[in-house]
Structure 1
Amino acid sequence: MPEIETARLRLRHFTLEEFDVLYCLYSNAEVMRYLSPRTREQTQASLRKHIQHWQENNFGMWAVIHKDSDNMIGRCGLGFLENTPEVELGYVFDKSYWQMGLATEASIATLKYGFLEVKLDRIVAIAHPQNVASVRVIQKVGMKYQKNAHFYNSDVVYYAVTRKEWHPDDSLYILQTEIA
């Protein structure tokens, strides 16, 4: 299964052994403020879904590993937007790693994977309008505002970028398809 290396991060597939770290992230009320915290059972279901999604679609959520510490610091990747065939960029990071550009770095790598490897034609992203940091990440990676919308029982702003509109940057992106 593919993994990606960026300047500061490794994006790799989740394993069931990461439940505790993921639960710490998903149960943190501040981190999950705009997504709603998850119980142990919901986190277990999410973890299994992350793993299964890759097996079925050749894309999904990556476990984001900070190269300096070798710690899992969040998740970033692609999934299907609720009740649509559209592919959505999503991310969640541990609070101690906020405001370092890591969500942007992981999102850029994820878009490269989606457009260059999976050959998607379009990728969307949504955020609560009040989640200024998330909206800023979406804008930094080149997505353009499309409309206000309602997904996951919330009013959100909806952004998108097509492969034709997207402009890859020259940031470090090493795709490894054969992991030893």
Structure 2
Amino acid sequence: MQIQDIFGDLPSVETERLVLRKVSLDDVADQFAWTSDPLVTQFLTWGPERSPAETERSIRYILSLYAQGQVSPWAVVLKETGRQIGSCGFNWWSPVHRRAEISYMLNRHYWGRGFATEAVAAVIRFGFERMDLNRIEALVSPANLASRRVLEKVGMRPEGILREAINVKGVFADHIMYSLLRREWAQAQVARREEV
């Protein structure tokens, strides 16, 4: 399988409360609401964004990735309102090694309600079922306890600390490597079905 096979026309993904779809220029205001928030971007390598024009440039970059069939994120949209409340998806993908890395961000006003967990679980399912991945990874700051909880809720396990692995706004920072293997995910799906 090639990257173009999936990301050449990235399909939407639905969950109980969310739609993961391609980002669009109509999302500028909603996206700026969280990309401009220092609390949302505190552990990221970029941000906070300073203006809607900067957010529009970011969206145009993502649109260019879609056009080139490159690995690109979904907008996380709340079904109830149709508003974009965050972003979730893959940062990179190695089809040869059947391995990819995920990341996610969510508007602070929607924290603590399980939306990040719901979106990440959907992306993981997509990765194993549609991309035929064997391993999904995520890097997270040790101080980002909420993000670590999300990863653990979807079954990811910490493997160890990558020392000063990421340059976060000019400071080299440690990050924890989390991972989930296809066989672990499949076993969890079987166990869940047996509980029902």
Question: How does the TM-score come out when normalised to structure 1?
Answer: 0.82
Query: Is the 2:30–2:83 Cα contact (8 Å) retained in structure 1?
Result: no
Matched, 1:93 2:106: yes
Q: Percent identity?
A: 32
Structure that is richer in helix per residue? 2
CA distance in 1, matches of 2:75, 2:18: 10
Matching of residue 166 in structure 1 with residue 185 in structure 2: yes
Counterpart position of 1:30:
39
Q: What SS does the aligned partner of 1:129 have? A: coil
Distance 1:92 1:42, change over 3 A: same
Q: Is residue 118 from structure 1 mapped to residue 127 from structure 2 by the alignment? A: no
Aligned residues: 168
Q: Which has the higher contact order (CA 8 A, sep 6+)?
A: 1
CA RMSD of aligned residues (A): 2.4
Q: Distance in 2 between matches of 1:143 and 1:6?
A: 19
Secondary structure (helix, strand or coil) at the match of 1:166 reads helix
Check 1:28–1:120 CA distance in 2 against 1; reply closer, same or farther (3 A cut): same
Runs of 4+ in 1 over 6 A off after TM superposition: none
Does the C-alpha gap of structure 1 residues 52 and 147 become closer, same or farther in structure 2, counting only changes over 3 Å? farther
CA distance in 1, matches of 2:64, 2:183: 29
2:14 equivalent to 1:5: yes
TM-score by length of 2: 0.76
Please say which structure displays the higher CA radius of gyration: 2
The runs of 5 or more residues in structure 1 that have no matched partner are 172-180
**CA deviation string 1:121-169 (max 9, x = no partner):** 2111111111100000011111111111112442111101122222364
